[in-house]
Structure 1
């Protein structure tokens, strides 16, 4: 009696093996998640970039063409008269200088106080340091509007109204909790052995801060400056409350001068002024972004 063994046919190797030189992603077809991600990214880019492009094109547009034609259409002719008119009637140089002073002063105060406060809370440590850190973090949820009237009364008593510190102090104060949170989070990743080795070598807390903590905090400093510069440069509420003279007006207040009587507005000159006032902030962001990339690359190379 003979037996017969049934075997299942094996698939050929040539059928299952992928073709040479063909990537696996191409055989699986397009990834739906990747396609949707790219579409969403391009939509966000268009939404963010289109207003800037439109403002720039309108700043080069003739005033009659803008008033009689389609405001959102392409300009029929380009002119630089809007920029000359904006500088002649708007005192843009003074407004930009005031905004630079307020922005630089506020950022300097935020970085110095934020780094030292976070260093004391996270690195040095003391009794009830966690409670103090929690009190700082509570300041993140405090709205700025509730401090306008008390600050105005206090500034009027000590003759601090209509000065640069009247804008720099509250701007730095309300941004300080977030700065302390960012610096504290970064300092938590620095190994304690680094500070212990420096202490064994005879370095005190101030020398450790200057030689170890400060050089390692470059990327965090850039992040804090970039985040706060947007709000400080565009601040309107503090400047409008504490500034009384035209000589100390910042850019948001100065742009109101382009609005004439009976609601008539020189739109093309206003857009030209907006382009001029945005340019310093864009240059600062390019420099800081390059500094952050350089810091990341240096850290990766050393690691």
Structure 2
């Protein structure tokens, strides 16, 4: 009988190699350093704390505006309300003339923002694009207005307004509000215009376009994010202005919202708190909604204006 041939010996390297189809051993997951994990946890806790501090007052304002007046006076103001009512909003509109105050605030805010945008864009375009002698000095004088306090202009403006008959008008509040906000708006427009390539202006000039056409066709369409930023940043302060309105507004028909809220304070300091909170929630909520809708354009405008200039 003949024996079967013996199989050739397997080399040691091939014997040690893994079989075909077998998955290679999984790599161990790299563990993050302990310090990095702790810093992320701390940052998330801080963000959550800031969010709670920002959101809780607004939620408390809304629930108090819906709270019954007797329940608010008898129980803890920070407790959960047991009764909800809409009578606070009706009293806010009837007793405080809220619609009239909202209309006056809209007129002053819209007019001041329009004046601010027009003057800011025109000034920045003249300084950064057109250029003229001593343009750097003019720019420095405008930016110097950032450090000027508003209180120094109250008495001189009051005297001038009374002499020319412009006291107790919407325009008497629009002009100083736009004037004191102009330096920051001018800075944002100047910083953004520095990003626009000079070749665009040179090409438009070679095509026969004048400065007004260049502004309307090139500069203005590219500036909308900065315009939104300037309007949103300043509209909040103009809407809530009390100093100029309290100084230059004398009649009841022209009172703005901050002045109109004083009507809720009764004799001997008695205040209808629930109606006051209802009025505040009505005036604050639309502004917050507009801010949430336009916050992306506002942040982009701030970044483009603060990165260079």
Tell me the TM-score normalized by structure 1: 0.87
SS of aligned partner of 1:217: helix
C-alpha displacement of 1:126: 0.7
1:100 aligns with 2:109: no
C-alpha displacement of 1:49: 1.0
Match of 2:187 among 167, 181, 191: 181
Q: Deviations over 1:91-141 (max 9, x none)?
A: 100000000000000000000110010010011111100000000001000
Question: Cα 1:263–1:295, aligned 2, differ >3 Å: closer, same or farther?
Answer: closer
Deviates more, 1:282-291 or 1:60-69: 282-291
Q: Is the 8 A contact 2:229 2:297 kept in 1?
A: no
C-alpha displacement of 1:202: 1.3
Q: Deviations over 1:146-193 (max 9, x none)?
A: 000000000000000110000000000000010000000000111111
* CA RMSD in angstroms, aligned pairs only: 2.0
- Equivalent residue for 1:218? 224
Q: Is the 8 A contact 2:115 2:178 kept in 1?
A: yes
C-alpha displacement of 1:269: 0.5
Cα separation, 2, equivalents of 1:36 and 1:189 = 37
Cα separation, 2, equivalents of 1:235 and 1:46 = 26
1:232 aligns with 2:241: no
> Please, which runs of 5 or more residues in structure 2 have no aligned partner?
1-23, 303-309
- Equivalent residue for 2:288? 282
1:18 aligns with 2:27: yes
Q: Is the 8 A contact 2:229 2:299 kept in 1?
A: no
Tell me the TM-score normalized by structure 2: 0.86
- Equivalent residue for 2:160? 154
Q: Which runs of 4+ in 1 moved over 6 A?
A: 293-296
Question: Cα 1:134–1:293, aligned 2, differ >3 Å: closer, same or farther?
Answer: closer
Question: Cα 1:293–1:147, aligned 2, differ >3 Å: closer, same or farther?
Answer: closer
Q: Is the 8 A contact 2:169 2:254 kept in 1?
A: yes
Cα separation, 2, equivalents of 1:240 and 1:291 = 33
- Equivalent residue for 1:11? none
Structure whose CA Rg is larger: 2
Deviates more, 1:195-204 or 1:27-36: 27-36
- Equivalent residue for 1:41? 47
